[in-house]
Amino acid sequence: MTTSTPKKKLILHAFVEPCSGHQSPGLWKHPKDQSTDFNDIDHWIRLAKLLEDAKFHGLFIADVLGGYDIYQGPRNLAPAIKSGAQWPVNEPLSMVPAMAAATKSLGFGVTIATTYEQPYHLARRLSTADHLTKGRVGWNIVTGYLDSAARNLVGKDQPKHDDRYALAEEYIRVMYKLWQSSWRDDAVQLNRKTGIYTDPTLVREINHVGKFYSVPGPHICQPSPQRTPVLLQAGTSKAGKKFSSQHAEAVFVAGHSPSVVAKNISEIRAQAKANGRDPASIKFIALICPILGRTEEEAQKKFEDLEQYGDIDGALALFGGWTGIDLAHYADDQELRHVESNAIRSAVEGWSKASPTVKKWTKHTVAKHITIGGLGATTIGTPEQVADELERWVREADVDGFNIAYAIKPGTFEDVIELLLPELRSRGLFQEEYAIPGGTYRENIRGEAGQKVPSPDHPAARYHWRAGVPAEDAPVPSEAEFEVAEEKPANGNGLKRPLDEEVSTRNGRKSVKVN
């Protein structure tokens, strides 16, 4: 008798940003698109209700803190401003409590950079949101990538890549100390007879003194339902993978095919195991933009209709910000397979394998490719064909779910709900109900009731001051204990060896596939 391995139940998020178009520049012009309503809180409440009714796990909210100013640059924001390419863009955390008030189980992963905000301040903002959402907040940890943001926030261009990750490593430790270690679980007494609101002996300073931060503490908020929000991450450079393997509970990946991301996923899982973590506990979420029709012909016609609204300059502005490459330097009809840039040649080679019918790759061809779904994978077809493609990603790359990018909003999500989810459910690939209705984001991502705080093998758990534990016995991990898989510094200043340039979701590759 043979037994088959049970299929993974997919984790699904809607991928959005508080701007128009997001990954599909120019599509805000489509008569059915509503993404330009992003300033209206009712727009977000309607979206949250739509997704919760369909049992999506969460809303993954992207963010940038500056404009895309590489194309036709330097420091030229005009193409992004004119086309609405992630400009204007609002602050993402502000709308989360309103969406949470209209839902009970939907999670909210919010992108916030470590480079520009003090950890003491961010710890309070995230704890507050976790309280108000009853434990449904996640933090997508990024280090930033736009010089336009850095110039406004720190008065100069970005710190170098390895310095940003060194800062992020210390930053996350400060956050663990504030969230997990400065309050005992039972510190809040609310004892009306004794008049003790919080027992002061059960709140302590963290007294962090490091290379980048000095934070005496204690945390100004009492422990929230999750204590530490669900930790998400997207970098897949050498430094990004090391960071993910230690800290991430979910990793956002993107590429034109499963083969692009499979190696990174395998390496992160292996490093996590070396760090004493269960490698299967890290959930990998791949970017995909599905264009669905009841027939292949209907799906293709829908794609062609969408494609006519794409903005070429907006796409090239996004490409410049994502890659640091200004394609304005190349002639309109220049074949990009033969340019001197290794990065461009590599990208075009990946696209050409996925879309062999394209005879000549020019900057216009690249821009057209980006206008629907950005630099992630775009799949066109029937529900059966798209479901087959999702299963291929799970099988070949070991992903655990998908971030659904939209072409039009909410139309793309409505098509997924009406057409794709019934097919996924018929295959046993997607939940009929939340694993823990009304549960925390972590419980529903992991599918484990009661697992509200980081799991015992996660580094944050080493800081947890549990109820009943005397202060003298409460854990205070040493740096050596925390850095079980860290490399030794290359020199005496505490910095690590030079790291590879970051390759995160913005450097993914796009394919258009009709099955």
DSSP 150-212: HHHHTSSSPPPHHHHHHHHHHHHHHHHIIIIISB-TT-EEEETTTTEEE-GGGB----EE-SS
- Neighbouring CB atoms inside 10 A of 138's CB total 29
Is the per-residue pLDDT at 496 higher than 50? no
- Neighbouring CB atoms inside 10 A of 346's CB total 12
Confidence class for position 390, pLDDT limits 50, 70, 90 = very high
Q: Which of 26-35, 124-133, 281-290, 367-376 has the lowest mean pLDDT?
A: 367-376
* pTM attached to this predicted model: 0.90
pLDDT at 122: 98
Is the per-residue pLDDT at 271 higher than 90? yes
Residue 342 belongs to some domain of the structure: yes
Residue 6 belongs to some domain of the structure: no
Closest to 397 measured CA to CA, from 266, 279, 241: 266
Our count of domains for the chain comes to: 1
Query: Whole-number mean pLDDT of the chain?
Result: 89
Higher confidence at residue 324 or residue 419? 419
pLDDT at 11: 98
Is the per-residue pLDDT at 499 higher than 70? no
Question: What is the per-residue DSSP string for 346-384?
Answer: HHHHHHHHH-TT-----HHHHHHHHTTTTTSEEEEE-HH
| Percentage of the chain lying above the pLDDT 70 cut | 89
Which residues form the domain of 322?
Answer: 12-514
Residue 438 belongs to some domain of the structure: yes
- Residue 459 one-letter amino acid: P
Q: At what angle do helices 161-176 and 238-247 cross, to 10 degrees?
A: 10
Is the separation of the CB atoms in 450 and 443 below 8 Å? Answer: yes
Higher confidence at residue 179 or residue 342? 179
Residue 105 belongs to some domain of the structure: yes
Closest to 489 measured CA to CA, from 476, 499, 500: 499
* Structure confidence by residue, pLDDT tens digits, 190-200: 999 999 999 99
Is the per-residue pLDDT at 511 higher than 60? no
Is the per-residue pLDDT at 86 higher than 80? yes
Print burial letters for 359-395: b (CB count within 10 Å at least 16), e (below 16). eebbbebbbbbbbbbbbbbbbbbbbebbbebbbebbe
Within 13 Å of residue 37, how many CA atoms lie on the same side as its CB?
A: 14
Is the separation of the CB atoms in 342 and 475 below 8 Å? Answer: no
Q: At what angle do helices 238-247 and 258-274 cross, to 10 degrees?
A: 50
Is the per-residue pLDDT at 482 higher than 80? no
CA atoms of 168 and 174, how far apart (whole Å): 10
Residue 2 belongs to some domain of the structure: no
Confidence class for position 101, pLDDT limits 50, 70, 90 = very high
pLDDT at 500: 27
Angle formed at CA 84 by CA 78 and CA 90, multiple of 5 degrees: 110
Mean pLDDT of 468-494: 58
pLDDT at 336: 84
Residue 387 is part of a domain; what is its CATH number? 3.20.20.30
Is the per-residue pLDDT at 3 higher than 60? no
Residue 509 belongs to some domain of the structure: yes
Confidence class for position 4, pLDDT limits 50, 70, 90 = low
* Structure confidence by residue, pLDDT tens digits, 290-302: 999 999 999 999 9
63 contacts: CB under 8 Å, gap ≥ 6: 17, 18, 89, 91, 92, 110, 111, 112, 113
Is the per-residue pLDDT at 377 higher than 70? yes
Going by their DSSP bridges, the two strands 283-292 and 377-381 should be labelled as parallel
CA atoms of 384 and 420, how far apart (whole Å): 8
- How close are the terminal C-alpha atoms of the chain, in Å? 34
Supply φ then ψ for residue 295, to 5 degrees. Answer: -130, 165
Mean pLDDT of 214-224: 97
Is the separation of the CB atoms in 61 and 108 below 8 Å? Answer: yes
pLDDT at 459: 96
Report the SS3 class of residue 75.
coil
Supply φ then ψ for residue 225, to 5 degrees. Answer: -55, -40
pLDDT at 351: 67
pLDDT at 284: 98
Is the separation of the CB atoms in 252 and 140 below 8 Å? Answer: yes
Closest to 238 measured CA to CA, from 454, 485, 478: 485
Residue 493 CA to its chain's centroid (Å): 31
Residue 4 belongs to some domain of the structure: no
326 contacts: CB under 8 Å, gap ≥ 6: 70, 71, 72, 73, 320
pLDDT at 479: 59
CA atoms of 330 and 321, how far apart (whole Å): 17
Closest to 258 measured CA to CA, from 342, 350, 179: 350
**Backbone torsion region of residue 339, taken as left when φ is above 0, otherwise alpha when ψ lies between -120 and 50, otherwise beta:** beta
pLDDT at 498: 25
* Structure confidence by residue, pLDDT tens digits, 61-78: 999 999 999 999 899 999
Number of H helices, E strands in the chain: 17, 14
Structure tokens at 79: 């193409």
Structure tokens at 169: 């490593």
Which strand (E) or helix (H) includes residue 461?
Answer: none
Is the separation of the CB atoms in 179 and 228 below 8 Å? Answer: yes
CA atoms of 277 and 270, how far apart (whole Å): 10
pLDDT at 161: 76
Report the SS3 class of residue 293.
coil
Confidence class for position 354, pLDDT limits 50, 70, 90 = low
pLDDT at 360: 84
